[in-house]
A and B are shown apart, each in its own frame.
Chain A
Amino acid sequence: MKPRLPLAVVSGYLGAGKTTLINRLLSEPHGLRLLVMVNDFGAINIDADLLAEAGDDTMTLTNGCVCCTMGADLYMAIGDVLDRDTRPDYLVIEASGIADPARIAQVAMAEPDLVYGGIATVVDGQTYASLVADPLIGAQIERQTSVADLVLISKLDHPDPALTLRLGVQSRAAVVDLAERNALAPLLFGGAPRSIPMVKGQAHAPYVTWSSSSPIQLDHEALLAKLNTRPAGLFRFKGFVAGPSGRGWEVHCVGPAVSVKPISQAQGTKVVGIGLEGQINPEQIENWWLD
């Protein structure tokens, strides 16, 4: 059986910096084979050299809906990727500037072959306040941050604590100023085993990582109850959890989102967590999980 494919959605209004973010992710040494899907009005500005270098690819889509917002094309393209002989390690969808990213990301909750990788919404720190006040488009833009699991602020020379607070209250997501982080892949793609050492090796590790192997067994209900009490600063939590009678669960938490899907054979419970430095430490995660 092919492994489940994690799907992350990058959203944000026109000009917020979605493509810049994706180019930046492509250039980081995370070791993942990414597939980027772009569903937008403008020209595609994904850096072809970066794609070639990383052995990744990109697909562009149009929107084939006859009446409104069904966007069947996007889903059919996801189906094509799932049907490939070799799936990429991660699917990144750059949503259109006015798309509701939750509508796209929900497919990762529903489709058994996908894993929910979260919604990252890029916000132009200079124009956000005036955009959300726009009577025509404001509500739609605000929705993009409200449903985000991670809000990334772009284009500010200095962090804006008021904006960070506002976005945090509005979205329940982690809010990060892009200028303040040198590695983004751990946030976007989580503590994948291959990427964690890279993060640890940095002079200023901006992330806290934790992992655990244990004989813990949880049924579906107990697992959900456990996840609901996870510490606030634990941004990502993922892995395999053994359940009763030889079955188990694949777990992915991103910000406020929780996804639990069945697996047929759990080989013990192995989980990893990642948080933002200063907001949490490994002991807190350990105490919560083993409690």
Chain B
Amino acid sequence: MSDIVVYSAKKIITMDVNRPEATHVAVRNGEVLAVGDARCADQWGTVTHDDSLKDAVLMPGFIEAHAHMMAGAMWEYAYAGFHDRIDPDGKLWPGLTDIDAVIGGLSDYAQGLDDDAPLVGWGFDPIFLKTERLSKKHLDQISTTKPIAILYSNLHLMCVNSVALEMAGFDHTTNAEGVIKGPDGTPTGELQEMAAMFPVMRRLNIDFRGLSQKETSIRAYADVSRRAGVTTVTDLYSEMEEEDVATMLRVTGEDSYPLRIVPALGAMSGPKAIADKAEALAKRSTDKLRLGAVKLMTDGAIQGWTARIKSPGYVGGQPNGIWNTPPEVIFQLVEELNSRGIQMHIHVNGDEAAEVALNAIEAALRKHPWMGHRHVLQHCQMMGRDLFTRAADMGLCCNIFANHIYYFGDQHVAMTIGVDRAERMDGARSAIDAGVNIAIHSDAPVTPMAPLFTAWCAVNRQTTSGRTLGHAQQITVQEALFAITLGAAYTLKLDREIGSIQTGKRADFTVLGDDPTKVDPMALKDVPVLGTVFGGRVHLL
């Protein structure tokens, strides 16, 4: 058998302007050898034809340029969110849209647990339940003998039942800020922030550290990615302890592991120490584990009122948000990392945070000019045309949190920044028009990983309630598809290898059941993902 395989497809959308469409792609040694028709590789020697994908549409493997490995491991717990979601094994978890559904859904789940196992749920979002707050009263209907803890989707709150309250010693005498009490003076079951959640987590063995470091998490991440058609994914805040790196190298190094991971080291120590560590990690990169970038935090989240935003601030009069890294430290980190030639991904939700990051990068580039640094601003939710233009001026990329429009857009209108700024948030149109290279992302597990859904958000800008939030910021289907392939590859400095189906690039494809450029743009999110091809290996669902 020849080592050249020519795959036929209903259509191949290459994202390469030289040959935007094709019907065949030839693969050798995990690399694209030729693109064109059935005879495209004939001049290379004997070929084997493979028609197993002949009814599918192929695109370059999707790239999720902002997600977290926790996205796979959360499924160790019961899903209790409002929106439908699919787990790594392909099982649909229907959204629990009212309190009765939450109780019913979790009761069913509890049936399958061992007698002495706690029931832990995740993804619950009170913002969608208008009637009443979830309390121990509801969870006690599920069990009065088994401890129950339901984590909210923002991971800052949980609700527990009476058994769990008792295990943690919470009663009417408890005097801790986050242990919420009802009119009768006893805890309601709602626990706010880690300090109050910790006593329950400790006794129920809920350990967030394990969620992104275990071998099973790395494998679950590949399953989640494959279901979304993703062949290259980021893990944008990784601690990269020696033990974790060794595990990741081993698991991703297996031939059958169908995913390339690009972790970014979290910048939580001094500038020099973090730069040294990033440099050392870069030397250990493999094809499927690309090390060396660094993630910087700046502010918090808009929906938690912790993002740093510019005047006139939050519509409810809430105080401005908080810095997770002090501005002076942002300047020090950016200067050191830039001077050492280390690419940075910088979290900026609020516009004030974006401005501080831009100021820091501008100062760093004046001291240590670097053509082609491709530092990336991440989320970019409140950047207007002015800030995008500055980003373009400096050669920065912007990775825009398009999924926010659907999941939180209504809340931003009503509760955080008001309608006019919400209509221009996650402004992909302004960014492209200003000349910025953009990607768009899910921030999984904050929202589900599904690049076609993310593209749908950027194209249609529809919120959960069905409102179109800011026509002016809509982008075209072609632009959105670029942002989840070649645009995203550019932000990771991987556009030489991936992002388009083109001779000489990796044979990474997304296998689709329909043509995303031909369906109604409102149906973009419904185009079926049938699987992926990774380095020439087919991984169908």
Interface residue ranges, A against B (CB under 8 Å): 13-14, 41-43, 62-76, 78-79, 82, 97-98, 100, 102-107, 109-112, 136-137, 139-140, 220, 258-262
Contacts and interface: CB of A to CB of B under 8 A. Distances in A.
B173 A260 contact: yes
B269 A62 contact: yes
Given A69-B306, A262-B173, A106 B269 contact: no
Nearest to B379: A67
A244 to B, nearest CB: 13
Pick the 10 closest A-B CB pairs, nearest first: A106-B195, A110-B176, A109-B176, A107-B195, A112-B169, A62-B268, A68-B300, A72-B208, A75-B198, A111-B199
A65 B198 CA distance: 15
B23 interface: no
Nearest to B273: A43
Nearest to A221: B173
Given A70-B194, A109-B177, A137 B327 contact: yes
Given A41-B270, A41-B325, A106-B178, A66 B70 contact: yes
Interface stretch (B7-15, B117-125, B315-323, B508-516): B315-323
B160 to A, nearest CB: 12
Contact of A100 (B179, B273, B322): B322
Interface of B: 68, 70, 154-156, 168-170, 173-179, 193-196, 198-199, 201-202, 207-209, 212, 237, 239, 266, 268-270, 273, 297, 300-301, 304, 306, 308, 319-320, 322-329, 352, 356, 443, 446
B238 to A, nearest CB: 9
Given A109-B176, A136-B327, A136-B356, A71 B269 contact: no
B323 A41 contact: no
A140 B198 contact: no
Contacts of A73: 209
B326 A106 contact: no
Contacts of A70: 155-156, 194, 208
B319 A139 contact: yes
A35 B142 CA distance: 41
B186 to A, nearest CB: 13
A75 B201 CA distance: 10
A67 B408 CA distance: 15
Contacts of A71: 194
A107 B269 CA distance: 24
Given A110-B198, A112-B199, A136-B356, A67 B270 contact: no
Contacts of B443: 67
B270 A43 contact: yes
Contact of B175 (A69, A75, A103, A258): A258
Nearest to B301: A68
A76 B199 CA distance: 10
Contact of A67 (B174, B239, B446): B446
A67 B324 CA distance: 10
Contact of A110 (B174, B209, B212, B268): B174
B198 A111 contact: yes
Contact of A140 (B174, B175, B199, B322): B322
Given A64-B209, A75-B198, 18 more contacts: A42-B269, A63-B297, A66-B446, A67-B154, A67-B155, A75-B201, A79-B198, A98-B323, A104-B195, A106-B177, A107-B194, A110-B174, A110-B176, A111-B198, A112-B199, A136-B352, A259-B175, A262-B173
Contacts of A109: 174-177, 195
B237 A41 contact: no
Contact of B196 (A43, A97, A110, A258): A110
Contacts of A98: 322-326
9 contacts: A63-B266, A65-B324, A66-B237, A72-B209, A103-B193, A106-B195, A110-B196, A112-B168, A136-B323
A79 B300 contact: no
Given A66-B68, A136-B356, A42 B198 contact: no
Contacts of B174: 109-110
Nearest to A111: B199
A282 to B, nearest CB: 28
B198 A78 contact: yes
A65 B320 CA distance: 20
Contact of B328 (A14, A72, A102, A110): A14
Contacts of B196: 106-107, 110
A69 B170 CA distance: 24
Contacts of B327: 136-137
Contacts of B319: 139
B300 A69 contact: yes
Contacts of B177: 102, 106, 109
A82 B327 CA distance: 35
A107 B198 CA distance: 7
B401 to A, nearest CB: 11
Contact of A260 (B175, B273, B322): B175
